Amino acid sequence: MKKKILLGLILLAFILVGVQVIPGIADSDGPKEITLTLEQAVDTAIENNPMVGMAQADKKKKEVSYKQAKEAGAKIEDSMMEATYEGKILARLKPKIAEREGEQAAKVYDITINGVKVQAETAYYSLIQAGEKQIIAGNTLSRADEQLRIAKLRYDLGTAAKVEVLGAEAGQAAARAGLTAARNDYKQKMLELNKSLAINLETPVKTSGEFQFEKEEFLLQDLLDRAMVEDMSIIKAQDAYEMAKWSYDLVKSLYGSNYYEARKAEQDVVAAQLSLEKTTDEVVTGVHKSYYGSLALEEQYQYLLKTVELKKEAYRLTQLSYENGLAILSEVQEASDALKEAEVNLSDCVHQYNILK
């Protein structure tokens, strides 16, 4: 009897332990929902994004490299090696290049932070827009439900054929599929936001703020000036050109411009200058494109806003006509589709403007 009781206790303990080690049982609810403003999302991204940490580590590494090069150069100046070509490179050129690389790394760090900020803002705005498109799809389904209700009522009264009910059912199914697609897109946009914030991908995020068009004034020259000092490709191309020029000037001062190494260094300067000019043209073109794109969106917004109002009224009138037998189902469905398209176009305009600014 005692053996049976002991065996039962052992079995019970085994079952309890087994339950405890089953994955997911202890924390089946998953991460809790969090509410984030745009500023909070940006701060979270900067704090968590590994690219920021990597850029900071590179900046510190370049600072150490500069100190190392400066100390090595000072030792060379106090030795007989200073008279050699290699010695002059170590004493004069290497510290200068290391200093510039340190300055570049500091700029890259700041640019990386700004890039992470832009990435988080884009993902945040995309989630807000996905939520708005969910609402648009839901409204479209509600209109399809109403169309089906009226079609069935007309059929029961003998004023509509069965094919009209079938058409309304098909429209309802299409609207429901559109809502499902919008919901799936919302989930995907939330995953992308969580990824940019470097938080648990399963964390439900609720955005705080409205998806609206807030016009900002931009001066083209200010944007160009800012790009010249903040664009990473410009900074690297400019530094590469200046470093190549330093190298050429040093070799030429030591051995003259006809020396083989000087002639090769001169071509490095030419290549670096051409690369800088090409990069500058690309950046200037990109700034112009963004600037004129934002101006176009400002004008489009007013037009699209009026278009939505027009399509809403057109749908309302067509719906009334359909209820009174003065319009057919396809006409009211076309009016509903036109309203949805106008609302989506307006949403896209607001989203693109927020991203550009």
**Per-residue b/e over 150-165, b at no fewer than 16 CB within 10 Å?**
bbeebbeeeebeeebb
pLDDT tens string 328-354: 999 999 999 999 999 999 999 999 998
Please give the pLDDT value at position 27. 46
Tell whether 191 is covered by a domain.
yes
**Pair (290, 159) in one structural domain:** no
pLDDT of 94 higher than 70 = yes
Question: 206: helix, coil or strand?
Answer: strand
pLDDT of 85 higher than 90 = no
**Pair (206, 229) in one structural domain:** no
**Per-residue b/e over 36-70, b at no fewer than 16 CB within 10 Å?**
bebeebbebbbeebeebeebeebbeebbebbeebb
Tell whether 320 is covered by a domain.
yes
- Reported for 30-33, long-range contacts at CB under 8 A and 24+ positions apart, including other chains, are 30/202, 31/200, 31/202, 31/203, 31/204, 32/203, 32/204, 33/203, 33/204, 33/205, 33/206
Bigger pLDDT: 210 vs 244: 244
Tell whether 259 is covered by a domain.
yes
Tell whether 99 is covered by a domain.
no
pLDDT of 15 higher than 80 = no
pTM, rounded to two decimals: 0.79
**Pair (191, 313) in one structural domain:** no
**Pair (258, 348) in one structural domain:** yes
Confidence of residue 86 (pLDDT cuts 50, 70, 90): confident
CA distance 118 to 45: 10
Mean pLDDT of 111-128: 95
**Pair (206, 288) in one structural domain:** no
Tell whether 55 is covered by a domain.
no
**Pair (185, 236) in one structural domain:** no
**Pair (193, 281) in one structural domain:** no
pLDDT of 1 higher than 90 = no
Beta bridge partners of 207: 36
pLDDT of 12 higher than 80 = no
Cα-only R_g, the chain: 33
Confidence of residue 117 (pLDDT cuts 50, 70, 90): very high
Please give the pLDDT value at position 6. 42
Look-up: residue for tokens 């590469």?
A: 240
- Domain-ending residue, one of 211, 235, 252: 211
Domain that holds residue 130: 38-45+112-211
Mean pLDDT, rounded, of the chain: 89
pLDDT tens string 272-290: 999 999 999 999 999 999 9
**Pair (294, 177) in one structural domain:** no
**Pair (121, 161) in one structural domain:** yes
Length of the chain: 357
Whether the Cβ atoms of residue 87 and residue 79 lie closer than 8 Å to each other:
yes
pLDDT of 298 higher than 50 = yes
pLDDT tens string 179-213: 999 999 999 999 999 999 999 999 999 998 776 78
Confidence of residue 29 (pLDDT cuts 50, 70, 90): low
Mean pLDDT of 14-37: 57
**Pair (145, 271) in one structural domain:** no
**Pair (320, 275) in one structural domain:** yes
> Looking at the 3D structure of the chain, how many domains does it have?
2
